[in-house]
Chain A
């Protein structure tokens, strides 16, 4: 078995299944590493992938799910291996992916519109009463208060700013929660599969659009706010054309600012996992990326 890169909060392993009566099959196993922070079960991710496939979202086909933690220390599930690339830096820089760079804005927008049109599965907790923006903001503020080892005045300014400008919500929908370059598999021609569904929840669909614009996913290609690929306007137009809800840019902007704050808090969560004893240099280094989100938040709030 070979561990695949990325996925600081989830282990992903590739393996080949060989049976006497069938051709070898390339498969992927996903499991929680010991001491993980983000709460969700593999069963939930497994069921969601199946529902997403039925709704026309490109996802890896799922095979089986094991809830019994005694089998492999934590719960896990197995899905088809989708050949392709996930590294954003390759997508943004390699000549081989010029076609993917051209196609992905429309493909990402269309897949997202389909996700937002999915029926909300019964096993997901319903949206909190009141504003989804208020619920998400207080959820991440609570996490921050519980885990941050030091004070972050830039985050305090952000909590105040966001809380005094809560956007209206038109409707609630299934929200992927981590929809961005880095969490999709692509080939030279473009999008092949949407992966990493562990942060899925019921909320405002505009949340996913704002998250897609967070600066961390541009990998230096800041001229194109959407994952280093295109303008916000192109994403919004493609999303609407694909059947997504009409976009109010001011609402998506709130979610983009919230997204930068959320990513900053996730960096602290990952760093806490390291402090908790998981000796990963990747998790350790994420603690020092928190300041990147602080600068972006100051820039966005003062713009």
Chain B
């Protein structure tokens, strides 16, 4: 266990410095890159908040969609790997035409949309609108 400030508080300190001190002092390409950098830190902060729960939920959706048995891996690294592997299986099945028609299509679309929305909640919530 580390001392305060915690990770989000540290990120927030750097974000404030970039947005309030660095960006106004720069122009042109450097200003643009400072804005991009502040935005990247905001992405990291959102990703760190609730990543495990989101990944577990994605694992459960994929298990249902692909009719997989078993329990989710207990550690986040393994959970991420499992979701990556199952997503590859899903992608391969779409590529082979399994989602071109039939009853499975709606379930695939719903899962893919939900997963994309969750990526955007981290990467760019504004893109999702109100």
Residues of chain B lying within 8 A (CB to CB) of residue A153: 87, 90-91, 94, 108, 111-112, 115
A151 touches B87 (CB 8 A): yes
A sample of 11 inter-chain contacts (CB < 8 A) reads A2-B28, A151-B88, A151-B91, A153-B87, A156-B91, A160-B99, A288-B123, A291-B124, A295-B113, A295-B127, A302-B109
Q: Is B45 part of the contact surface with A, judged by Cβ < 8 Å?
A: no
- Binary contact track A59-79/B, C-beta < 8 Å → 1, others 0: 000000000000000000000
Chain B residues 96-120 with CB under 8 Å of chain A are 97, 99-100, 108-109, 111-113, 115-117, 119-120
In the complex, how many angstroms separate the beta carbon of A119 from the nearest chain B beta carbon? 36
Residues of chain B lying within 8 A (CB to CB) of residue A282: 32-33, 36
Q: Is B82 part of the contact surface with A, judged by Cβ < 8 Å?
A: no
Chain A residues 1-48 with CB under 8 Å of chain B are 2-6
| 7 closest residue pairs by CB, A with B | A151-B91, A291-B119, A156-B94, A5-B29, A288-B123, A151-B88, A294-B116
B90 touches A151 (CB 8 A): yes
Residues of chain A lying within 8 A (CB to CB) of residue B55: none
Distance between Cα atoms of A86 and B68 in the complex (Å): 51
Closest chain A residue to B99, Cβ basis: A157
Interface size on A, residues (CB 8 A): 28
Residues of chain B lying within 8 A (CB to CB) of residue A160: 94-95, 97, 99-100
Q: Is B126 part of the contact surface with A, judged by Cβ < 8 Å?
A: yes
Interface size on B, residues (CB 8 A): 36
A288 touches B109 (CB 8 A): no
Distance between Cα atoms of A291 and B28 in the complex (Å): 27
Q: Is B40 part of the contact surface with A, judged by Cβ < 8 Å?
A: yes
Given known pairs A285-B39, A288-B123, the reply for A150 and B87 (CB within 8 Å) is yes
Residues of A whose CB lies within 8 Å of any CB of B are 2-6, 150-154, 156-157, 159-160, 164, 220, 281-282, 284-285, 288-289, 291-292, 294-295, 298, 302
Residues of chain A lying within 8 A (CB to CB) of residue B116: 154, 291, 294-295, 298
Residues of chain A lying within 8 A (CB to CB) of residue B40: 281, 284-285
Distance between Cα atoms of A173 and B87 in the complex (Å): 39
B29 touches A292 (CB 8 A): no
Most A-side CB within 10 Å, residue of B100, B112, B122: B112
Closest chain B residue to A283, Cβ basis: B36
In the complex, how many angstroms separate the beta carbon of B109 from the nearest chain A beta carbon? 7
Residues of chain A lying within 8 A (CB to CB) of residue B39: 285
Q: Is B43 part of the contact surface with A, judged by Cβ < 8 Å?
A: yes
Distance between Cα atoms of A154 and B94 in the complex (Å): 9
The contact of B120 among A3, A6, A285, A295, by CB within 8 Å, is A295
Most A-side CB within 10 Å, residue of B92, B109, B116: B116
- Binary contact track B66-95/A, C-beta < 8 Å → 1, others 0: 000000000000000000100110111011
The contact of A151 among B37, B84, B126, by CB within 8 Å, is B84
Distance between Cα atoms of A282 and B34 in the complex (Å): 10
Distance between Cα atoms of A6 and B29 in the complex (Å): 7
Distance between Cα atoms of A290 and B36 in the complex (Å): 16
Distance between Cα atoms of A6 and B111 in the complex (Å): 35
Residues of chain A lying within 8 A (CB to CB) of residue B124: 288-289, 291-292
Closest chain B residue to A155, Cβ basis: B91
B90 touches A289 (CB 8 A): no
Residues of chain A lying within 8 A (CB to CB) of residue B112: 153-154, 157, 294, 298
Distance between Cα atoms of A302 and B124 in the complex (Å): 22
Residues of chain B lying within 8 A (CB to CB) of residue A289: 123-124
Distance between Cα atoms of A281 and B29 in the complex (Å): 12
Distance between Cα atoms of A151 and B115 in the complex (Å): 12
Distance between Cα atoms of A281 and B43 in the complex (Å): 13
In the complex, how many angstroms separate the beta carbon of A270 from the nearest chain B beta carbon? 12
Distance between Cα atoms of A284 and B94 in the complex (Å): 28
Distance between Cα atoms of A159 and B92 in the complex (Å): 12
Distance between Cα atoms of A102 and B2 in the complex (Å): 57
Residues of chain B lying within 8 A (CB to CB) of residue A284: 40
